[in-house]
Chain A
Amino acid sequence: MLDINNIGVSFGGVRALNEVSFTTPDKGITALIGPNGAGKTTLFNAITGFVTPTDGTVSFSGENITGKVPEDVFMYGISRTFQNLNIIPELNLRQNMYLGFIGKEKPSPLKSIAGLNRSYWKDAEKRIDECMDFVNVTEYAEMTPDSIPYGVLKNFELARAILSNPKMLLLDEPAAGLNLNEKENLAAMVKKIVGQGVNILMVEHDMQFISSLADYVICLNFGEVIGKGTYKEVRENKEVLRAYLGDDEV
């Protein structure tokens, strides 16, 4: 589905990614792991168009999306979340959901001002209700973020990300800051989303979370792929162990 071919990214003299290549399976969850500064988020940014690769290509469903701007990458069916929550504090969750809708199904500003696009908003509301219900956040729909638990907000981000019916979802550290219960809940939601046919690529540090979810794992270190395979295969890879534990421990 997602084919990364010899991607390289440089920031001035710093080589953040170097000849990174892998292909995600057609179905399931791929986890991207690696120590801090390995280049995971840079790779996410290169895939989603926030950073232009200096070499290599990114293809999605057979189409070359290298160098496309984020707005266009989204139109190919790739949706993403960020490490930080992007929720407007003064709007309730339902209102915050609109961000996931108006970019794809662009409403007409003139029709909107004239109040002529009621059917558009009816469809939007219906889809928003479906997605919020899907990740069990409906009961918080009319509440503002300051009165909602962090774990629920993380689930809400998933609801918003699937609002546009993406083919692939990129999750940047989805389990960061969650307690055990919240992580279990999030893992269940992620599995539910995969069950709908959405392919997931996620950056994550929590190995327990990854082991319970990932079908395929790619490990980066200093901008290069040092291991890939199933969770078990990567866990036993000496280079991966060296990157995490150091030479003495391996």
Chain B
Amino acid sequence: MRKLNPTFFIICTLAVVGIGFGVYNEYYIGVASLMMINALNTAALNVLLGYTGIISIGQAAFFGIGAYVAAYFSVNLGVPPVLTLIIAPVVAFAVAWVIGYPVLKLHGHYLAMATLGFGMIVYIFMNEFYDITGGPSGFMGIGSFHIFGLNFGTEKSFYILMSGFFLLSVFLYEVFDKSFLHYKLKFIKSSESACRSYGIDVARTKLLVFSSMAAITALNGVFYTYYTHFISPVSFSFKYSISLICMAIVGGLGHITGGIIGAVFLGFIPEVFATFDDFEMIIYGGLLAVVIMFFPGGIAGTLKKLVKKNA
């Protein structure tokens, strides 16, 4: 509908290619891969919270569902990894649809509490159902992602795989941002009553968006599984959901670029302030307070405003 703006896509491509060719330290290559996973999860949350006004504190649960479904199917049932890229999102979509149907009738704090509760239930399930999930000790023995004889088991090869998926997603998010769907979701966020009086089926649209974003988050969970080769409930706890919300707000709600910028920005904090590891959440909280008070549009919103002002 509106013209695509390739600027952000080009910046992401240059960054991804630059890291691919310029960084040799495997640890940092791994950090970049994880940053891309977090960035896509945050972008999905941004579509929920920033565009549609659905506050979800249970995104870690969908991330975990994707990871565990992929691990279970590939290790216990011998399903090829490429098929788990389809199975896990479908499962997450179905779970989100069932959960979302009653839960999305709620708004504001009530919706936040309901999604938090869902996240907690899935977390407990991961801890208690040893036979399926391996319990608190985690799920071990997960192989590498491979397709058509290509194995993506090394840091570099996984980085290449993740980069492809990341850039494709950034492009699709840009297309979404310029399509009528962007407006439709923002209208819903602005006033559900007005949307309904103009013929928009708000409940169905919200359910579709919630389930689709759950599927995308689960897809990232699949990549995470094949990257780490080991998953445990601690990676999918309440803390991860909160981190995603911090990344989305700091980056800029309602801007696709915001989710990605926020994830990259906050992704650097544990690396730069490694000695303050115990205070990570305090740093996140402080940043969140500063952004909410002084830069309500987040990094992306503030940059956009500056560009507009100087144009």
Contact = CB atoms under 8 A, between A and B. Distances in A.
A118 to B, nearest CB: 9
B190 A88 contact: yes
Contact of B198 (A49, A74, A88): A74
Contacts of A99: 183, 187, 194-195, 198, 200
A100 interface: yes
A71 B194 contact: no
B197 A70 contact: yes
A228 to B, nearest CB: 25
Main secondary structure of the interface of B (DSSP, over half): helix
A49 B186 CA distance: 23
A238 interface: no
Contact of B191 (A86, A91, A109, A112): A86
Contacts, number: 78
Interface string A101-130: 011100101001100000001000000000
A75 B194 contact: no
Interface string B144-175: 00000000000000000000000000001001
B199 A103 contact: yes
A71 B180 CA distance: 18
B198 A121 contact: no
Number of chain A interface residues as a range = 20 to 34
B284 interface: no
A143 B172 CA distance: 28
Contact of A82 (B1, B193, B202): B193
B229 interface: no
Interface string B1-40: 1000000000000000000000000000000000000000
B201 interface: yes
B292 interface: no
Given A99-B183, A102-B180, A112 B1 contact: yes
Interface in A138-168: 160, 164
A199 interface: no
Given A86-B191, A113-B176, A48 B181 contact: no
A18 interface: no
A169 to B, nearest CB: 11
Contacts of A50: 193, 196-197
A91 B186 contact: yes
A88 B193 contact: no
B179 interface: yes
A86 B190 contact: yes
A164 B198 contact: yes
Interface in A214-246: none
Interface in B192-223: 193-202
Nearest to B255: A90
A112 B186 CA distance: 17
Given A112-B1, A121-B1, A70 B196 contact: yes
Contacts of B201: 71
A120 to B, nearest CB: 9
A82 B194 contact: yes
A136 to B, nearest CB: 22
Interface of B: 1, 172, 175-176, 179-181, 183-184, 186-187, 190-191, 193-202, 254
Interface of A: 48-50, 69-71, 73-75, 79-80, 82, 86-88, 90-91, 95, 98-100, 102-104, 107, 109, 112-113, 121, 160, 164
Given A107-B180, A112-B179, A113-B176, 17 more contacts: A49-B196, A69-B196, A74-B199, A75-B199, A79-B197, A82-B197, A88-B186, A88-B187, A91-B186, A98-B183, A100-B198, A102-B198, A102-B200, A103-B199, A109-B179, A109-B181, A113-B175
